[in-house]
Amino acid sequence: MQEARARLDRLWARGRAFLGTDIAIMGGAMSWISERHLVAAISNAGGFGVLACGSMSPDRLAEEIAATQHLTLRPFGVNLITMHPDLVRLIDVCGEMQVGHIVLAGGLPTSAAIKRAKDTGAKVVCFSPALVLARKLVRSGVDALVIEGTEAGGHIGPVATGVLAQEILPQIREVPVFVAGGIGRGEAIVSYLEMGAAGVQLGTRFVCADECIAHANFKRAFIRAASRDATPSVQVDPQFPVIPVRALANNATRRFMEFQQEVIGQVRRGELEQKAAQLEIEHFWAGALKRAVIDGDVDNGSMMAGQSVGLVTREQPTAEIIAELMEQACGALASRQAPEAVA
């Protein structure tokens, strides 16, 4: 098994060096979930925790970064949403707090935002849903990429993780590339590393960690769910495009379809302009995630989850989750070495 661990370390050496960690596993930034306790726990276990800024104010973000720094001396990053109205100030806060890695998410960041983040001294990580955008981001100066497939939770793109990996990993060598979306076991981690990934990102797998502050109702729903229960939201009219959100089906997902029809009806009757209608549709989920994660309303809140939710079977310490992933990864590598040893 020691040989397998040594081989694993070689496979993700680039990712480990980039993150400054023992293990090249990034924690996916999940609003209301990826706060100080879970982030610090992931980093303390040898991975790389990532704070989810979400809609935080600059002062609130500074407070959360300081609290996380109090809980861990190991590296962690901060995820900023590019559409945040105070993005520039949030970047500056990360610089003032000496954050080593800034992850820009929720849309294609501008070159100015990437430069400002790099000027703080931080390494900049961005998401790419396609090869053409990956190349554009590399030209813009990003230090690493995350490619996330449609199996992921929350807002998703249209392409599966396995296809994205085949499309992008052989073509992008200039910067480390981390793979995300639907990963819940160590064997899958190894497969992407062998394809050229520098590391991976997991979100759903950490929701039921002991250190995660999510409500007990939220965690129970994850433990009971099957992979097929995490479904994307449905767009009822192509003239009113909606970025799909993958979540566990509940009253809120059904109500979302009804709400779209109601708002579209207002436009048809001339009571609402189309742009205003689309904004209302997008704002439907505002506060819904907090309602589920913090308040425990799993019927009417947003139950964002990736398809790897079917692999979440119990609540356990973060360190134990990472240890299991490592054991599975090393086991996969050891089994491949065994026939060679016999020969």
**Domains with residue ranges and CATH for the chain:** 2-213+314-342 (3.20.20.70), 216-308 (no CATH)
pLDDT tens track, the chain, 343 positions: 899 999 999 999 999 999 999 999 999 999 999 999 999 999 999 999 999 999 999 999 999 999 999 999 999 999 999 989 999 999 999 999 999 999 999 889 999 999 999 999 999 999 999 999 999 999 999 999 999 999 999 989 899 999 999 999 999 999 999 999 999 999 999 999 999 999 999 999 999 999 999 999 999 999 999 999 999 988 889 888 888 889 999 999 889 889 999 999 999 999 999 888 887 887 787 789 999 999 999 999 999 999 999 999 999 999 999 999 999 999 999 998 665 444 4
- Sorted by sequence, the CB contacts under 8 Å of residue 296 that are 6+ apart come out as 215, 216, 217, 218
Q: DSSP alpha helices (H): ranges in 12-98?
A: 13-19, 36-44, 58-71, 87-96
Kindly report the backbone phi and psi dihedral angles of residue 127, in degrees, each rounded to the nearest multiple of 5, phi listed first.
-95, 140
Residue 198, helix vs strand vs coil: coil
Q: What's this model's pTM, rounded to 2 decimal places?
A: 0.93
- Please say whether the beta carbons of 165 and 192 come within 8 A: yes
Kindly report the backbone phi and psi dihedral angles of residue 31, in degrees, each rounded to the nearest multiple of 5, phi listed first.
-55, 140
